[in-house]
Amino acid sequence: MAEGSRDGEFIKPGKIIELDKKHIFRQPFRPFIIDSAKGSIISDAYGKKYIDLVGGLYGAVAVGWQRKEVISAMAAQMKKLSFAPEKTPSEACSRLAEELSGILDCKLTKFLRAVSGSEAADLAIKAARSYTGKKTIISTLNAYHGQTYGGVSFESDKRYDAKYGPLVPKILKIPFPYEYRGVTAEQSLGAIKKAMREKNDVGAIIMEPVQGSGAISSSREYFKELREVCDGKGVLLIFDEVITGFGRLGSKFAYQHYGIVPDIVILGKAISSGYAPIATTAMDEDIASKFDAYGNISTFGWNPICAAAASANLGVIIKERLWLEAKRNGKYFLARARERLNHDIVGEIRGTGLFIGIELVKDNASMTPDPDLARSALRRCIENGVYISKGGPLNNTLIITPPLVIDKRQIDRSIEIIGRSIIQASSKGLSKNNINW
Ligand SMILES: Cc1ncc(COP(=O)(O)O)c(C=O)c1O
């Protein structure tokens, strides 16, 4: 029996898949079982190793897998106090709040306690509506803010309206810049200004500084002007930094990279590097003063074990200055990928820090998106030993968000495997089957 397994029966890969299919909702389902992981390397249930270019899920595992600093802090907290009642302070939470306020290094010093990024996004809207008294929220097309009703209401996926509607009302979606496909920063800002002119009850705008779906972003100038537009109209700017927070772009937070300070910041994933479910919504004293604390009652929000995990994780990020690693290695990855993946079917390689997208097309002249190629390339990458994800508005972009501790050797090897996989996928293709890779 494997260490840590309750019953030898459960470690058989076939059995895991059978039970998962029988009992668990999973979309899309991948017959790929991560069994263990260390650093930037994950191992499947057959012992095969892969370079983790996903960071668990969209960059969650920032400090790398199996960090003893985080594990031992969690174990110590578990032994001391595993749960704290909602109404009472705990050492783990107070410490985390102080550390978060230090690393955020701006006016955002008050925190709502959440378990997931989705919940934190909902809390941001509660805070914005209660502060401004205005109900309309602007979000962006191709956004992802999670799976609560608020989260799905901000997104542009029509399936949600049809299946789960009615969604949260008074949400207006505007285009986010996507220069490669002709959506400019001016168009996006124009749509925001128009919405603010036409509706007199816009209270906030929520956006990901880099859209996770496609690794799409814009310039410093765009965000600076956005900040000015919001200030001019008294509209709160909410940055969803669930993916970009804690170093991914080469700065501690995306708002520093873009040279602005948002009014509310949503943080999740890398806040604990995936070691424990914890998230937060950060705001200043003024916004917090209008928030009714009854809106943040939670059984598990900032559970002390999760708070201890987050504290230890922040300790590693700061001690190892991982945002600088992301900056250095991100630059290296981009340069190397542009040099080595110079094929006609690679439309654009874009990114900031260790948040990189590789958009695949039929050919560079037509720029026709090729989602089938992306799907096949992803499958080939996994077969060849690189765990990678894909997405984007046209579902044709390979997305790279590795642990921030990935090293140059692993980057070189990954790019070599991605190149080989793309070529294999484009020359041989894959027979269609019902596995949605
Ligand atoms: C930008 C962004 N916001 C919110 C979420 C939702 O976070 P969670 O899955 O923890 O609910 C995600 C998840 O991927 C995300 O990428």
Q: Give me the mean pLDDT over the 14-26 stretch.
A: 87
Tell which atom from ligand 1 comes closest to the C-alpha of 277: 10
List strand residue ranges (DSSP E) for 41-195, in order: 41-44, 49-52, 110-114, 136-140, 171-174
The whole-chain average pLDDT of the chain stands at: 94
What is the distance in A from the centroid of ligand 1 to the CA of 428? Answer: 35
Atom of ligand 1 lying closest to residue 244 CA? 1
**Residue range 32-63+321-428, CATH number:** 3.90.1150.10
- The H or E element spanning position 195 is helix 185-198
Find the DSSP H helices in 258-361: 285-289, 304-319, 322-340
Residues 6 or more apart whose Cβ sits within 8 Å of residue 407: 40, 329
Which of 27, 119, 145 has the most ligand 1 atoms within 8 A of CB, as the residue to mutate?
Answer: 145
Confidence of residue 10 (pLDDT cuts 50, 70, 90): low
Residue 58 CA: which ligand 1 atom is closest?
A: 14
The pLDDT value recorded for residue 389 is: 95
Residue 431 reports pLDDT greater than 60: no
DSSP 55: I
The yes-or-no verdict on residue 31 having pLDDT over 90 is no
Write the residue with the smallest CA distance to atom 13 of ligand 1. 146
Residues 6+ apart with CB under 8 A from 231: none
57, 61, 123, 144, best to mutate for ligand 1 pocket (most atoms within 8 Å of CB): 144
Contact 57, 42 (CB under 8 A): no
CA 7 / ligand 1 centre spacing (Å): 33
**Residue 375 near residue 28, CB atoms below 8 Å:** no
- What the block records as the tokens of 339 is 């040099």
| 241 vs 270: CA distance, rounded Å | 10
Q: Inform me whether the pLDDT recorded for 28 exceeds 80.
A: no
Instruction: Give residue 330 CA to ligand 1 midpoint distance, Å.
Output: 22
How far apart are alpha carbons 414 and 36 in whole angstroms?
19
Find the residues whose C-beta lies inside 6 A of ligand 1: 58, 116-118, 121, 144-146, 208, 212, 240, 242-243, 268, 279
- 393 band by pLDDT with thresholds 50, 70 and 90: very high
Identify the CA nearest to 392 among candidates 351, 343, 344, 342: 351
The minimum-distance atom of ligand 1 relative to the CA of 117 is 7
Distance CA 366, CA 261 (A): 39
C-beta pairs of 192-196 under 8 Å, 24+ apart in sequence: 192/138, 192/226, 192/229, 193/229, 195/138, 196/138, 196/229, 196/233, 196/235
As a whole number of angstroms, the distance between CA 370 and CA 359 comes to 9
Tokens of 122: 């909902």
Give residue 427's pLDDT: 85
Quick one: pLDDT band at residue 156, thresholds 50, 70, 90?
confident
For residue 241, give both structure tokens: 């930094």
Ligand 1 centre and the CA of 46: distance in Å? 30
For β-strands 346-352 and 355-360, DSSP reports them as antiparallel
Distance separating alpha carbons of residues 314 and 273, to the nearest angstrom: 9
pLDDT computed for residue 7 by the predictor:
52
> Two tokens at 198?
């036409």
- Calculate how far, in angstroms, residue 413's C-alpha sits from the geometric centre of ligand 1: 29
Average of per-residue pLDDT across 211-220: 98
> Ligand 1 mean position to 147 CA, how many Å?
8
Closest CA to 278 of 317, 306, 299: 306
Whether 12 has a pLDDT exceeding 90, the answer reads no
- DSSP summary character for residue 385: T
Residue type, 355: F
Q: Could you tell me the residue ranges of all domains in the chain? A: 32-63+321-428, 68-319
CA 159 to ligand 1 centroid distance, Å: 18
Please give the span between the terminal C-alpha atoms of the chain, in angstroms, as a whole number.
Answer: 31
Mean pLDDT across the stretch 356-364? 97
CATH class of 68-319: alpha beta
Tell me the percentage of the chain whose pLDDT exceeds 70: 95
Q: What is the pTM of this model?
A: 0.95
pLDDT for res 8:
54
pLDDT greater than 50 at residue 264: yes
